[in-house]
Every structure is written in C-alpha cells, then in structure tokens.
Amino acid sequence: MIKFRGIVWSVHPLFVIVMLLSAAAGRFAELITLFILVFVHELGHVVAARSFGWHIREVKLLPFGGVAETEEAGGMPTREEAIVALAGPLQNVWMAALAWGIGQMGIGDPAWANELVEANMLIALFNMIPIHPLDGGKLFQCLLCRLMTYHLALAWTIRISMALSLLLAISAFIQQLWPGGGIQLNVLTIAIFLLATNWTQRRHMPFLFIRFLMNRERYARKHMNRGASAAPIIVRPETALHSVLKYFRRDAVHLVYVTTARGELLGILPENELLHGFFASANPNRPVAELII
C-alpha cells in the first residue's frame, strides 16, 4: 500500500493471487508487463477524474484494471463519469498502437510486440463488458441514468451485472465441450469476483442510494451556477418522503410539486428542502405534505 498525492494505491488480493501464480510459474516478465499495463490503465482514470476536480481516496489494482473509490460516487454528471470510465481503456489503445508500431519497424522482438498488443486489447475489451465495476458497467449505468431515475438505474445495473457475471462464469466451462479442453480458471475466478462484488452491491444498495443523496447538494450547486432549468416531480401530499427521493434523476435538479388528486397545487418544494427534511428526520415515511409551510 502506497500513498501518493493524497491517493492510496493498493493491490487487490485477487491480483496478489495472480502475481503469486505467475511467480510460481516463472513468468516474471509477463507479471511485470501486466502490472505496468494495469497501472497505466488506472492512471488514465485518475488523471481524468482529477481534471474534473474529483477527490479520489483509494485505487485498488486488479488483474484487469482497478477500482477507484471517490467521494463523488454517483453524484457527478454522467458525462464526466463516462469520460473518466473511457480514459482507462484509451490508455490500452495507445499502448497497443505503440507496440504495433514498434513491431512494424522491427525494433526489438516482434513476438513480444505482438503479445503486448494482444494484452492491451484484451484488457481494453474485457473492461468494456457491461458489468459493474468494469468500465463498461459504469458506462452502462450512465446510459441507464439518462433513461430513468437513479434508484432504478442502480437496481438494474446490479441485476444485469449479476446476470452477466453468471454467464461469464458459465463460459469458463465451455472449452470442456471440446477434446482436450479444460476449465478457464482465470475467467472463472474473475467471474466469481464480479458476481460477489455485485451481490455485495445489492445488499448495500440502500447505503449507495443514501450516498447519492448526500452528494446532491454539491451537484445541484454546480447545476444552478450554470443557470440550468429544474426538472419537475409531481406527487400527492400523502406520498412518503423517501418515495419522492427515489424519483430523483442523476443529471437533473428537481422542483417537487405537491398536488391533490383534483390537481390543486398545495406547494412547491426545491429538492434541497426534501433532502434536509429527509436527513433531519428520524422518520423517512413522513408525508411530504409536512414540509409545506
């Protein structure tokens, strides 16, 4: 574990297992190469995130990339998160192009250059699979956030990620159908890790949603400084406060219109008043009408 410029860099236990297996097999050169490729991949994420002013607490390196823990998780615009997610695979693209160019010019060992190209493209393409927390999973969640509320997008990201992780685990056994084939232990190990990660995300979903709500003030401030319009939410006065918050969208600041069944307007609440009422009250089921003065 190393701390550099306020960011804690650590190696995930899964990567440690891969490193030990590579060392036992005497594949030191491949191990060092993989570490460098993964580090540069994750460095791309860090640089992109820092350019948007994100605060990164820790980066955990994995065999296929890494996981960055940020204070702004779920609270920044989807455009920013999409750019940060793409910044990692793009590092592998330019490194693959550089290795290909070196191979074409005959500099060094052509076989090594080809292996470097394949390794970079494998890392880049694998990371684009729409399974959270892979980069493709983050991009998929950004797309869902454009189409639905954050709470729904979070739920569907976890469900689809778990389903695809299970399919990835099943694919590890496909080679057994052919003579001489065997189980792809590397694929199976990563699939189990992704499945376990999303299972944990599913259990922690209430906490993840609360974290999203806690970051709303920061996003709303940036949104309103640009003079952007607010998105309306229309609810009945008896609607529970926590239910109203589930209508929040990631890329919008809301005004909540409280109306009767006959369409009579009882009041208009900015989202910060709902958030204050939610966090200041011990009863998340209190009706939203109680916030109207």
Residues 209 and 86 in one domain: no
pLDDT at 34 (0 to 100): 81
Residues 158 and 262 in one domain: no
CATH number of the domain that 262 lies in?
3.10.580.10
Residues 187 and 233 in one domain: no
Closest CA to 61 of 13, 17, 96: 13
Residues 74 and 177 in one domain: no
The percent of the chain in helix, strand and coil, each rounded to the nearest 5, is: 60, 15, 25
Model confidence at 217: pLDDT above 90:
no
Rg (CA), the chain: 23
- Give domain status of residue 51, yes or no: yes
The whole model's pTM is what? 0.88
What total of structural domains would you count in the chain? Answer: 3
pLDDT at 4 (0 to 100): 64
Of 15-19, 117-121, 244-248, the poorest mean pLDDT is in 15-19
The stretch 285-289 carries a mean pLDDT of: 89
> What's the CA angle centered on 166, arms 164 and 168, to 5 degrees?
70
Out of 184, 214, 244, pick the residue that ends a domain: 214
Q: What is the mean pLDDT of the chain?
A: 85
Q: What percent of the chain has pLDDT over 90?
A: 41
Residues 208 and 249 in one domain: no
Q: What is the DSSP letter of 290?
A: G
- Give domain status of residue 133, yes or no: no
What is d(CA 203, CA 83) in angstroms, rounded to the nearest whole number?
Answer: 28
Residues 234 and 270 in one domain: yes
Q: Which range of residues forms the domain containing residue 204?
A: 150-214
Model confidence at 179: pLDDT above 80:
no
- Give domain status of residue 135, yes or no: no
Of 38-52, 167-181, 190-204, the poorest mean pLDDT is in 167-181
Residues 226 and 187 in one domain: no
Out of 94, 128, 162, pick the residue that ends a domain: 128
The stretch 223-234 carries a mean pLDDT of: 74
Out of 128, 161, 195, pick the residue that ends a domain: 128
Task: Give the SS3 label for residue 235.
Answer: strand
- Give domain status of residue 185, yes or no: yes
Residues 16 and 112 in one domain: yes
> Among all chains, which residue has been given the structure tokens 């739920």?
155
Does 198 or 68 have the greater pLDDT score?
Answer: 198
The stretch 49-77 carries a mean pLDDT of: 79
Residues 222 and 210 in one domain: no
What is d(CA 92, CA 122) in angstroms, rounded to the nearest whole number?
Answer: 9
Residues 64 and 170 in one domain: no
pLDDT at 185 (0 to 100): 76
The stretch 79-94 carries a mean pLDDT of: 93
Highest mean pLDDT among 190-194, 200-204, 273-277 belongs to: 200-204
